[in-house]
Structure 1
Amino acid sequence: MKVHIFGAASSPGIANYALNRAADVYENKYGSDAADIVKYHFYVDDELISVSRVEEGVNLAKQTIELCKDAGSDAFQFSSCVRERHSTRRGVLSMVSSIFYPLGFVSPYVLNAKKTLQHLCTNRSDWDQPFPTSVEQK
């Protein structure tokens, strides 16, 4: 699996599966201690373990971090499919309403469309009337 839906009910289970798989794959490279920490002391992205000596904890932390780094990158990516919409008040509302952005990364881009919609509503444009090219260029 290369991608999964952000916030899905299955997300914690998928994250734990990916961690366990990484521990299995990289156990020979980083040792069974690091793999056991990932397998039995992690939940999603939280680790909880206690050791008797500071040096042991630092060494295990370094091994665990390296194991997780080798497993893959920690990157947030998204893709979109833009459908052509009519240049009308209804089309702008449809486009703005169809965007799902739970973390708000795309808010600066959506804001321009919302401002255009606000302008069209303030001017009481008809829902299906094409708007002027001056508005369309914004």
Structure 2
Amino acid sequence: MCVHLFGASSSPGCANFGLKQVAKDNEDDFGKDVADFLRYNFYVDDGLKSMPSVVDAVRLIERNQAMCKQGGLRLHKFASTSKEVLSHISSQDRANGLTNIDIFNQDLPVERALGVQWCIESDSFQFRIVLSDKPLTRRGILSTVSSIYDPLGFISPITLVGKKILQTMCGENIGWVDPVPDTLGIQWESWRRSLQELHSLHTRRCLKPINFGEPTVV
């Protein structure tokens, strides 16, 4: 089999198997650290890895590209918080937002990492909530609350307020399309407007404080 269907239910599993097979087949030629990157640091087609130095990062990128090429895959769309690392990557192999910018004289853009917005310049996670108009019903409120993607729970104290309103509606047996009581409607509109302030929230990706020293594994 030389090709595989795009969009089939089995496609993610087949792609994951293929990536790990490339690591297995070429580990002896390129090294265990390179193979382990493909094995353990990929989620479908997004690979995420922190490296201790620019030299280590560039070397890992070069060897992983060579390993993937050996298996017929092109590893590209790289992004990094280090402009020095990016300078070693050809523009066509950088992430889309990094292909046509002067990396040393312009701020690095916001990219997505596994669906989460990542500001490369400040190396922080942030949120830009874009809400579509939904009817003021239990169904519309559920749709809005469910549309907020926060897998790491950074804004759980905020989203819980919306979920509590929905829980109250369930407790009062309000139907899916029934009018929302005025008291809950006021709470809901106030909470919904407050979501626009989330754009100012930044959560640093790195938990290690500056001048922390060299981390060790015990």
Question: Please, what TM-score do these two structures have when normalized by structure 1?
Answer: 0.53
Structure 1 pair 35/89, CA: closer, same or farther in 2 (3 Å)?
A: closer
Encode CA deviations 1:82-128: one digit per residue, 9 max, x unaligned. 11111111111111222221111121121111111111111111211
Structure 1 pair 36/127, CA: closer, same or farther in 2 (3 Å)?
A: closer
Counterpart for residue 111 of structure 1: 160
1:82 partner SS: coil
Tell me which of the two structures has the higher relative contact order, counting C-alpha pairs closer than 8 angstroms and 6 or more residues apart: 1
Counterpart for residue 123 of structure 1: 172
Q: Which has the larger radius of gyration?
A: 1
- What is the aligned-residue identity percentage? 33
Counterpart for residue 40 of structure 1: 59
Q: CA RMSD in A?
A: 3.4
2:160 maps to a residue whose letter is L
In the TM superposition, residue 35 of structure 1 has moved relative to its aligned partner by: 5.0
Structure 1 pair 90/35, CA: closer, same or farther in 2 (3 Å)?
A: closer
Higher strand share: 2
2:46 maps to a residue whose letter is S
1:39 maps to a residue whose letter is V
CA distance in 1, matches of 2:176, 2:55: 61
CA distance in 1, matches of 2:153, 2:54: 35
Give 5+ residue unaligned stretches, structure 2.
1-41, 62-81, 86-103, 109-120, 188-218
In the TM superposition, residue 12 of structure 1 has moved relative to its aligned partner by: 1.6
CA distance in 2, matches of 1:88, 1:35: 52
Q: 1:9 aligns with which of 44, 48, 51?
A: 44
In the TM superposition, residue 41 of structure 1 has moved relative to its aligned partner by: 5.2
CA distance in 2, matches of 1:73, 1:84: 32
Encode CA deviations 1:27-64: one digit per residue, 9 max, x unaligned. xxxxxxx753331257xxxxxxxxxxxxxxxxxxxxxx
CA distance in 2, matches of 1:130, 1:92: 12
CA distance in 2, matches of 1:136, 1:79: 24
Structure 1 pair 11/129, CA: closer, same or farther in 2 (3 Å)?
A: same
Higher helix share: 1
Question: Please, what TM-score do these two structures have when normalized by structure 2?
Answer: 0.35
